[in-house]
Amino acid sequence: MTSKPKRDTKAKAKSKPQRPKPEPPPHDPIWQQSAWRSRTRQRLLDWFSANHRVLPWRSDPQPYHVWISEIMLQQTQVATVIPYYERFLKQFPTVAALASADESTLLSHWEGLGYYRRARSMHAAAKQICEQHDAIFPTTFDDVINLPGIGRYTAGAVLSISQGQAYPVLEGNTQRVYSRWVAMQGVLSEKPTLDLLWQIAAAMLPKQNRTDNDAANQRGPGIFNQAAMELGALVCTPRSPNCDQCPVRAGCCARKLGIQETIPGKVKKIQYEDRTEFAFVIANRDQSQFLVRPIPAGERWAGLWDFPRLTTGEIENESVAATHLHETLSTPISVGDPLMSMKHAVTKYRIRLNVFKATVATRATRQWKPPAPWKFATLTELDELPMSVTGRKIVKELSKGH
Q: Report the distance separating Cα 359 and Cα 104, nearest Å.
A: 28
Nearest to 315 by CA among 298, 290, 295, 335: 335
Task: Give Cα 394 distance to the centre of its chain.
Answer: 25
Task: Give Cα 66 distance to the centre of its chain.
Answer: 15
Four-CA torsion 164, 167, 173, 175, nearest 10 degrees: 160
Pick the catalytic residue from 70, 111, 171, 230.
70
| Structural contact between residues 119 and 88, judged by C-beta atoms closer than 8 angstroms | no
Nearest to 70 by CA among 59, 58, 54, 52: 58
70 is catalytic: yes
CA atoms within 13 A on the CB side of 200: 28
Determine if the peptide bond prior to 373 is cis (ω within 30°).
yes
Helices (H), 165-251: 172-181, 191-204, 221-234
| Structural contact between residues 290 and 307, judged by C-beta atoms closer than 8 angstroms | yes
Q: Report the distance separating Cα 350 and Cα 353, nearest Å.
A: 10
What would the DSSP string read from start to end of 236-289? S-SSS--GGG-TTGGG-HHHHHT-GGG-SBPPPPP--EEEEEEEEEEB-TTSS-
The residues annotated as belonging to the active site are: 70
